Copies of this chain bind each other. A is one copy, B any other.
Amino acid sequence: MKIALAQLNYHIGNFDGNVARIIKHIERARNDGADLVCFGELAVCGYPPRDFLEFRNFIGLCTEAVETIREASGGIAVVVGAPVVNPVVEGKDLFNAAIFIEDQEIKHVQHKALLPTYDIFDEYRYFEPGSEFKTVLFNGKRIALTICEDIWNIGNENPLYVTCPLDNMIDQKPDFIINISASPFSYDHAEKRLEVIRENCLRYGIPMFYVNHIGAQTEIIFDGGSVVMGPGGKIYEEMPYFQEYYKVFGLDDVIKERQSVQQPKNKILEIHDALVLGIHDYFGKLGFSKVVIGLSGGIDSAVTTVLAVEALGVDNVRVLLMPSQFSSQHSIDDSIRLAENLGIQYDIIKIEDVYHEYMETLKPIFGDMPFNLAEENLQARIRGMLLMAVSNKFGHIVLNTSNKSEAAVGYGTLYGDMCGGLSVIGDVYKTEVYELAHYINRHEEVIPEHIITKPPSAELRPNQKDTDSLPPYEDLDEILKEYIEERLGPEEIIANGYDAALVKRILRLVNINEFKRYQTAPALRVSSKAFGMGRRVPIVGKYLS
């Protein structure tokens, strides 16, 4: 038996596009002599469709898409993910289903039983968990069909769930497992995924064909890395990350574990490629191509600009240099050098005249009150407005350049440097931004060395440095990670060796600045706990604040 996996880039709600992509790969698989071709979870509508699932009209379009795919499946079998209506009154209205189509007939619909409802996942909001577990007989082989999370409760050891779908199917003696997934990227997730697939293969002694999505849906990035694994738990083939991929596998070869193709694992490389794909798809899927970025001379905007050039091309990236009276000459020089290294269009716009006009205009209200946060923020906001003006005039989208460390502690100006349609490095801690810069410069100096080596500064008042108000980023990032990713409490973090007053100050800053993060652009998710849809905290809360 020959089984094809199609690791594709879907687009939420773009039924024509998704169906065309799926049918193209059905035809390809048929031409390649495959017996069966597998697509991802909810492939017809893209993942996650979120509250679109609550529209009957949307579900109708999903059903039509499945129908079109069914018609295109002459002479081959197809496994494709789609939401299907729950005909029983009791329970949620939908199932998250894997549909098995054989030669234009729907032979089986397997409902997802384990519905992730944590972090970015809201599946129990929409779906009734499946409770029937039937294998599919196809060309003399029995197939255990599973959907993403269904394989993540091995032997019922995952405390979140009380059902283990494969334990319920194994008595039917399946020959192999298919898992159709929409498993999002985080830099520590691929290893876990492989381990889970391995444990399943070993537990049941049969191979698994695991197909994932690739591509970004706003902030969620799917990395692909679809896997074919043999019954002995050996990787037969791991598909590439961050690109569409398609391949036909012989079942016998897989059972015999005849090869082992794996992908290199490297945190910074993966984050880099994820961010490039994230930018690329945000623009591609929204129908935009051009970007404008404010270059400050600092490392955040430098890294963001390089990533944008990789994602969209030199001709689609323009930058503005917007010095003020507090800007150092090296900030301008370093920015020009970066723009020239990249070969992108740059303009220098001084903000001083606008700034002084604001101060004149505000004089009747401000009087002789001393320079403070108001004037600092004004500079950041003038820059934001100039970027937005260029955006509106030329149809460029502003990319936000804030990193996760500053987003965490509120070290940014709302409607100023926090503006933009997409936050590129908003889930990347400052120390990781440096690692990205070094990675970018691995072959040659793309980012001028001085941008990497100089002390970070917002340059909103004379001789300002980030360390004036923040601890060194090595400490800050570690405290933040323990609080945000690991969800440790203040006592636990202090017990790990950090100054008590510092820890309390940082945790308080994180919590009182939720109002700022609430209003910022979606940030490309690369960690296991990003700000945004996967981290939901109250604004008026008084916890640790």
Return the CB mask of A464-489 against B: 1 if under 8 Å, else 0: 00000000000000000000000111
Q: Are A538 and B393 in contact (CB under 8 A)?
A: no
A519 adjacent to chain B (CB < 8 Å):
yes
Interface, chain A (partner B; CB < 8 A): 11-14, 17, 46, 48-52, 54-58, 60, 89-93, 117-118, 122, 124-125, 156, 159-162, 216-218, 281-282, 285-286, 347, 349-351, 353-354, 357-358, 360-362, 364-366, 369, 372-374, 377-378, 381-382, 384-386, 388-390, 392-393, 414-415, 419, 421, 487-492, 515, 518-522, 533, 535-545
Q: 19 A-B residue contacts at CB 8 Å?
A: A11-B542, A12-B538, A12-B542, A12-B543, A14-B541, A48-B538, A51-B535, A52-B543, A56-B489, A57-B544, A91-B159, A93-B159, A347-B364, A349-B365, A362-B386, A374-B389, A374-B393, A382-B385, A384-B415
Bound Cα distance A358, B490 (Å):
46
For A369, list chain B residues within 8 Å (CB).
393
A46 contact set on B, CB distance < 8 A? 538, 541
Q: Which of A124, A539, A541 has the most CB of B within 10 A?
A: A541
Nearest residue in B to A52 (C-beta to C-beta)? B543
Write out the residue numbers on chain B whose beta carbons fall within 8 Å of the beta carbon of A282.
Answer: 540
Q: A159-B91, A354-B358, A389-B374 are in contact. Are A415 and B421 (CB under 8 A)?
A: no
By a CB distance below 8 angstroms, the chain B residues around A384 are: 415
Q: By the criterion CB–CB under 8 Å, are B543 and A91 in contact?
A: no
* A389 with B360, Cβ < 8 A, contacts A50-B538, A522-B518, A538-B218 known: no
Q: Which residues of B contact A421 (CB under 8 A)?
A: 515
Residues of B within 8 A of A378 (CB): 385, 389
A521 CA / B149 CA spacing, docked (Å): 34
* A414–B388 touching, CB < 8 Å: yes
Chain B residues with Cβ below 8 Å from A538 are 12-13, 46, 48-50, 52, 217-218
* B-chain residues with CB within 8 Å of residue A533 when the two chains form the complex: 536
- The answer to whether B286 and A540 have CB atoms under 8 Å apart is yes
Q: Please name the residue on chain B nearest to A286 by beta carbon.
A: B540
Answer whether A162 and B357 are a contact pair too, CB < 8 Å, given A52-B541, A349-B362, A542-B14: no
A377 touches B389 (CB 8 A): yes
Q: Taking CB as reference atom, which chain B residue is nearest A55? A: B487
Q: Which residue of B lies closest to A116 (CB)?
A: B125
Known pairs A349-B364, A372-B392, A542-B285; A51 contacts B537 (CB<8 A): yes
Is B365 within 8 A of A392, CB to CB? no
CA A492 to CA B386, docked complex, whole Å: 43
Residues of chain B within 8 A (CB-CB) of A361 are 349-351, 353-354, 386
- For A491, list chain B residues within 8 Å (CB): 57
Give the residue among A285, A369, A374, A542 with the most B Cβ atoms within 10 A. A542
A388 to B378, CA, bound (A): 8
Cα separation A52 to B536 with both chains bound (whole Å): 8
Inside 8 A of A48's CB, which chain B residues have their CB?
538
Contact of A160 among B92, B357, B522 (CB under 8 A): B92
Assembly CA distance A14 to B540 (angstroms): 10
Q: What CA separation (Å) do A476 and B36 show in the bound complex? A: 49
Minimal beta-carbon separation of A65 from chain B (angstroms): 12
Q: Is the CB of B49 within 8 A of A487?
A: no
Name the B residues within 8 Å of A91 (CB-CB).
159-160, 162
Tell me how far the C-beta of A476 lies from the nearest C-beta in chain B, rounded to whole angstroms.
19
Contacts of A354 in B (CB 8 A): 354, 357-358, 361
Instruction: A55-B489, A519-B521 given; name 15 further pairs at CB < 8 Å.
Output: A12-B541, A46-B538, A46-B541, A50-B536, A50-B538, A52-B543, A57-B544, A58-B543, A93-B159, A217-B541, A349-B362, A354-B357, A381-B388, A415-B415, A421-B515
